């Protein structure tokens, strides 16, 4: 995609939605005898949520999993647009657009796998981590350099903030 087209798309964004596993995490999950034990989140992606909020852009998580770890992370980041156990993400988008009085062009989504392809095709700015599946990469307007769980969400956030005239963070990030 041409830089001018990407910039135009990023300028319209008012809500950034993300998948969890493979975007906010590296896709790995630790299991014990009683099931999921933990997931690893990148702290810089959390700062991205705060930076987006500071410029008037809300965020949300849409995941097929029903994970207590994701609920805890969303609570910590004060993300109210949390949707757990969503297998078919595209219909949820219509509900969110209506409820928040937004158009699809005002929403960005970052996802990494086949279950994200439909929603990637519906939003104004579709993105994926650098290590996303071929299916997600083909559906994305922007492929991050960073991999899932290693700052891909932060990279997308900084792109949007920059295109909207906000101050970009130093390239080394912050913690």
Contacts by 79-84 with C-beta closer than 8 Å and gap 24+? 79/49, 81/15, 81/17
pLDDT at 172: 45
Give me 45's structure tokens. 């992606």
6-62: pLDDT as tens digits: 999 999 999 999 999 999 999 988 778 877 778 899 999 999 999 999 999 999 999
Spatial separation of the C-alpha atoms in residues 168 and 16, rounded to whole Å: 17
Closest of 33, 21, 131 to residue 73, by C-alpha? 21
Q: How confident is the model at residue 1 (pLDDT cuts 50, 70, 90)?
A: low
Q: Does residue 126 carry a pLDDT above 70?
A: yes
Q: Does residue 167 carry a pLDDT above 70?
A: no
Q: What percent of the chain has pLDDT over 90?
A: 81
Closest of 93, 86, 95, 88 to residue 109, by C-alpha? 93
Tell me the CB-side half-sphere exposure of residue 3, using CA atoms within 13 A.
3
Instruction: Determine which of 33-47, 107-121, 122-136 has the lowest per-residue pLDDT on average.
Output: 33-47
Q: Show the domains of the chain with their CATH numbers.
A: 3-163 (3.40.50.1000)
Spatial separation of the C-alpha atoms in residues 142 and 98, rounded to whole Å: 26
What average pLDDT does the structure give for the chain?
92
Q: How confident is the model at residue 169 (pLDDT cuts 50, 70, 90)?
A: low
Across 59-87, average pLDDT = 95
Q: Does residue 171 carry a pLDDT above 90?
A: no
Q: How confident is the model at residue 159 (pLDDT cuts 50, 70, 90)?
A: very high
pLDDT at 29: 81
Instruction: Tell me the CA end-to-end span of the chain in Å, nearest whole number.
Output: 31
For residue 48, CA distances in Å to 27, 95, 115, 135 come to 19, 25, 24, 26
What SS3 class is residue 126? strand
Instruction: Determine which of 1-10, 50-59, 107-116 has the lowest per-residue pLDDT on average.
Output: 1-10
Strands 35-38 vs 107-110: parallel, antiparallel or unpaired:
unpaired
In the chain, beta strands by DSSP E:
15-18, 30-32, 35-38, 58-62, 81-83, 107-110, 125-128, 142-143
- Please state the pTM of the whole predicted model: 0.92
């Amino acid at each position: 995609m041409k830089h001018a087209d990407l910039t135009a798309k990023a300028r319209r964004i008012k809500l950034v939605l993300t998948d969890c596993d493979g975007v906010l995490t590296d896709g790995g999950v630790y299991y014990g005898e009683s099931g999921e034990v933990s997931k690893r989140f990148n702290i810089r992606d959390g700062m991205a949520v705060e930076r987006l909020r500071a410029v008037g852009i809300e965020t949300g998580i849409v995941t097929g999993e029903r994970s207590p770890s994701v609920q805890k992370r969303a609570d910590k980041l004060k993300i109210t647009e949390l949707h757990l156990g969503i297998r078919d993400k595209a219909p949820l988008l219509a509900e969110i657009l209506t409820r928040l009085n937004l158009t699809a062009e005002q929403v960005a989504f970052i996802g990494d796998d086949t279950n994200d392809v439909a929603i990637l095709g519906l939003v104004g700015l579709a993105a994926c981590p650098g290590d996303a599946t071929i299916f997600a990469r083909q559906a994305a307007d922007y492929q991050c350099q960073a991999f899932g769980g290693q700052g891909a969400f932060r990279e997308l956030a900084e792109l949007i903030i920059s295109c909207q005239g906000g101050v970009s963070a130093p390239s080394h990030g912050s913690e």
